[in-house]
């Protein structure tokens, strides 16, 4: 069976050139980048090359890039590191949007539980956008940090980061942006965004899993994420994940080179899929703004269809998608993103995310549009059928 992968926001396949570079590095560059001898310096040069490539992807200086174990660690580092650094200055209030990834939301919750900070979560409008006025109203004299994501992982909408960062700075607060879902998909320039901290993750742009980076604006005081050796300029102790970092560097280089061409093509495919589904399947609704949005994502609610059942039915047809809602303890948890947008339950529990990628084709799109009406009708008929005892 030809399998169709429409779940690139969960993770992307590793680009063959990334896999090749990692394989070569794994075999030939085994030194510890902290060692002074030839082997160590060879490994250090590989890390430096990757750091430059990652910095170029986001318009940064290489010295500002700290390698981490991925988006989750970068988000944790940004929030915990900045919160702790600001604590001494009496700033203990944190602000984030209610549609952040759990890596941000659960970190804020954990800090609040310790009693060290308080948090304000900003709701979004029904298109999924944070209002600059809402941020202005939430800021306080003791706000340490504002964290708002660049592109949302479920609906793909892009936030007005530069405007929000300006407002946060006017109140003396730092600004962190989770750019895990935008890096490699749209151009990023940390200076133009005017932010202080920015998280990215390699496996979202055809790099390996378990490696990411946090960009820390030069001069910003941060408490280190881990203590020990002097790696990453004393900001993250521990011997570097050399192979992963090499892979991330190559993935960043490829993403920068192909972004414009790829996103134009994927945008066309996504629109074809989206309009195809909305036309072919009755009682479907698009969730989130059409623009500004990353090119690969569409999120659609199917009225009177349980999202998990549709996901499984599609998987049996060889089509991989995802749902925002999650089944926990036998009940269907609605998507926190769609809930924050104020959508009714029948849309928050019935949504499917389709996220396309560089290998997606017109044939994949057309096959998905062709099979969906039948699957949806079957599931709707089943839910209407009387219960047999
Ligand atoms: N932030 C966002 C917006 C994400 O979509 C994800 C992963 O899905 C993460 C953070 C976490 O990244 P990682 O899987 O590299 O830990």
In the reported structure, the alpha carbon of residue 6 is separated from the centroid of ligand 1 by a whole-number distance in angstroms of 17
Asked whether the beta carbons of 152 and 313 are under 8 A apart, the reply is no
Is 265 in the same domain as 192? no
Any domain includes 332? yes
Atom of ligand 1 nearest to the CA of 70: 15
Any domain includes 352? yes
Any domain includes 389? no
Q: Which of 8, 14, 77, 103 to mutate to test the pocket of ligand 1 (most atoms within 8 A of CB)?
A: 103
Q: Number of structural domains, the chain?
A: 2
Is 230 in the same domain as 136? yes
Is 218 in the same domain as 266? no
Instruction: Give the residue, by CA position, lying nearest to ligand 1 atom 5.
Output: 153
Q: Which of 150, 161, 204 to mutate to test the pocket of ligand 1 (most atoms within 8 A of CB)?
A: 204
For the record, the structure tokens of 102 come out as 């759990």
Is 115 in the same domain as 231? yes
Instruction: Give the residue, by CA position, lying nearest to ligand 1 atom 12.
Output: 71
Instruction: Give the residue, by CA position, lying nearest to ligand 1 atom 14.
Output: 71
Is 102 in the same domain as 243? yes
- Predicted confidence at residue 333, as pLDDT, reads 81
91-111 tens-digit pLDDT:
999 999 999 999 999 999 999
* This prediction's pTM: 0.96
Is 249 in the same domain as 270? no
| Predicted confidence band of residue 326 (pLDDT cuts 50, 70, 90) | low
Other Cβ atoms closer than 10 A to 34: 13
Any domain includes 157? yes
Domain boundary (192, 224, 254) is at 254
Domain boundary (203, 233, 254) is at 254
- Predicted confidence at residue 118, as pLDDT, reads 95
Atom of ligand 1 nearest to the CA of 209: 15
Is 234 in the same domain as 267? no
Closest CA to 207 of 377, 53, 372: 53
Phi-psi sector, 155: left (phi>0), alpha (psi -120 to 50), beta: alpha
- Predicted confidence at residue 55, as pLDDT, reads 98
Rounded Cα–Cα distance for residues 201 and 17 (Å): 18
Q: Which residue has the higher pLDDT, 353 or 383?
A: 353
Any domain includes 124? yes
Is 243 in the same domain as 365? no
Q: Which residue has the higher pLDDT, 242 or 349?
A: 242
Residue 388 has pLDDT above 60, yes or no: no
Any domain includes 139? yes
Is 248 in the same domain as 272? no
Residue 25 has pLDDT above 50, yes or no: yes
Q: Which of 72, 128, 184, 212 to mutate to test the pocket of ligand 1 (most atoms within 8 A of CB)?
A: 72
CATH of the domain at 33: 3.40.640.10
Which residue's structure tokens are 């984030």? Answer: 96
Residues carrying an active site annotation? 327
C-alpha distances (whole Å) from 258 to each of 199, 254, 268, 310 are 21, 6, 16, 33
**In the Cβ-directed half-sphere of 157, how many Cα atoms lie within 13 Å?**
23
In the reported structure, the alpha carbon of residue 180 is separated from the centroid of ligand 1 by a whole-number distance in angstroms of 6
Atom of ligand 1 nearest to the CA of 210: 15
Domain boundary (196, 224, 254) is at 254
Any domain includes 132? yes
Asked whether the beta carbons of 91 and 143 are under 8 A apart, the reply is yes
Closest CA to 355 of 234, 270, 289: 270
Mean pLDDT (the chain) is: 94
Is 186 in the same domain as 45? yes
- Predicted confidence at residue 385, as pLDDT, reads 53
Asked whether the beta carbons of 49 and 60 are under 8 A apart, the reply is no
Is 68 in the same domain as 216? yes
Instruction: Give the residue, by CA position, lying nearest to ligand 1 atom 8.
Output: 10
- Predicted confidence at residue 346, as pLDDT, reads 84
Any domain includes 53? yes
The answer to whether the peptide bond before residue 91 is cis (omega within 30 degrees of 0) is no
Mean pLDDT of 288-305: 94
Q: Helix/strand/coil (H, E, C) string of the chain?
A: CCCEECECCCCCCCCHHHHHHHHHHHHHCCCCCCCCCHHHHHHHHHHHHHHHHHHHHHCCCHHHEEEECCHHHHHHHHHHHHHHHHHCCCCCEEEEECCCCHHHHHHHHHHHHHCCCEEEEECCCCCCCCCHHHHHHHCCCCEEEEECCCECCCCCEECCHHHHHHHHHHCCCEEEEECCCCECCECCCHHHHCCCEEEEEHHHCCCCCCCEEEEECCCCCCCCCCCCCCHHHHCCCCCCCHHHHHHHHHHHHHHHHHHHHHHHHHHHHHHHHHHHHHHHCCCEEECCCCCCECCCEEEEEECCCCHHHHHHHHHHCCEECEECCEEECCEEECCHHHHHCCCCHHHHCCEEEEECCCCCCHHHHHHHHHHHHHHHHHHHHHHHCCCCC
> Which residues have C-beta atoms less than 6 Å from ligand 1?
70-72, 75, 101, 103, 149, 153, 178, 180-181, 201, 203, 212
80: containing domain:
16-254
Phi, psi values for residue 170, rounded to 5°: -60, -30
253-265 tens-digit pLDDT:
999 999 999 999 9
| Predicted confidence band of residue 331 (pLDDT cuts 50, 70, 90) | low
Closest CA to 279 of 309, 310, 300: 300
Residue 389 has pLDDT above 50, yes or no: no
In the reported structure, the alpha carbon of residue 37 is separated from the centroid of ligand 1 by a whole-number distance in angstroms of 36
Total length of the chain:
389
Largest pairwise CA distance in the chain: 75
Bridge partners of residue 66, in order along the sequence? 214
For the record, the structure tokens of 382 come out as 């089943």
Rounded Cα–Cα distance for residues 280 and 372 (Å): 8
- Predicted confidence at residue 89, as pLDDT, reads 82
Q: Percent of the chain scored above 70 by pLDDT?
A: 96
CATH of the domain at 277: 3.90.1150.10
Is 228 in the same domain as 105? yes
């Amino acid at each position: 069976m030809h399998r169709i992968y429409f779940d690139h926001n969960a993770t992307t396949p590793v680009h063959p050139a990334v896999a090749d570079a990692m394989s070569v590095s794994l075999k030939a560059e085994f030194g510890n980048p902290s060692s002074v001898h030839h082997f160590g310096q060879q490994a250090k040069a590989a890390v430096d090359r990757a750091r430059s490539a990652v910095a170029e992807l986001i318009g940064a200086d290489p010295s500002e890039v700290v390698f981490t174990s991925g988006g989750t660690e970068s988000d944790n580092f940004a929030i915990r590191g900045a919160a702790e650094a600001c604590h001494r200055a009496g700033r203990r209030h944190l602000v984030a949007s209610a549609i952040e990834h759990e890596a941000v939301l659960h970190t804020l919750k954990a800090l609040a539980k310790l009693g060290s900070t308080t948090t304000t979560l900003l709701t979004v409008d029904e298109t999924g956008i944070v209002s600059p006025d809402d941020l202005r109203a939430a800021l306080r004299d003791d706000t340490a940090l504002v964290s708002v994501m660049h592109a949302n992982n479920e609906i793909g909408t892009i936030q007005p980061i530069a405007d929000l960062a300006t407002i946060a700075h006017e109140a003396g607060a730092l600004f962190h942006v989770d750019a895990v879902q935008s890096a490699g998909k749209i151009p990023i320039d940390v200076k133009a965004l005017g932010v202080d901290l920015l998280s990215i993750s390699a496996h979202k742009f055809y790099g390996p899993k378990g490696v990411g980076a946090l960009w820390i604006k030069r001069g910003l005081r941060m408490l280190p994420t881990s203590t020990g050796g002097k790696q990453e300029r004393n900001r993250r102790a521990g011997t570097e994940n050399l192979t992963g970092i090499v892979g991330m560097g190559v993935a960043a280089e490829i993403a920068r080179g192909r972004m414009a061409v790829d996103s134009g093509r994927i945008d066309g495919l996504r629109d074809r899929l989206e309009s195809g589904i909305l036309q072919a399947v009755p009682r479907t609704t698009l969730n989130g703004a059409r623009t500004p949005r990353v090119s690969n994502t569409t999120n659609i609610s199917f009225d009177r269809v349980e999202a998990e059942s549709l996901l499984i039915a599609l998987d049996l047809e060889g089509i991989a998608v995802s749902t925002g809602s999650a089944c926990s303890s036998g009940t269907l948890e609605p998507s926190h993103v769609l809930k924050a947008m104020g959508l009714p339950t029948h849309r928050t529990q019935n949504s499917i995310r389709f996220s396309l990628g560089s290998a997606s084709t017109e044939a994949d799109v057309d096959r998905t549009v062709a099979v969906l009406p039948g699957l949806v009708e079957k599931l709707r008929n089943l839910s209407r059928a009387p219960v047999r005892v």
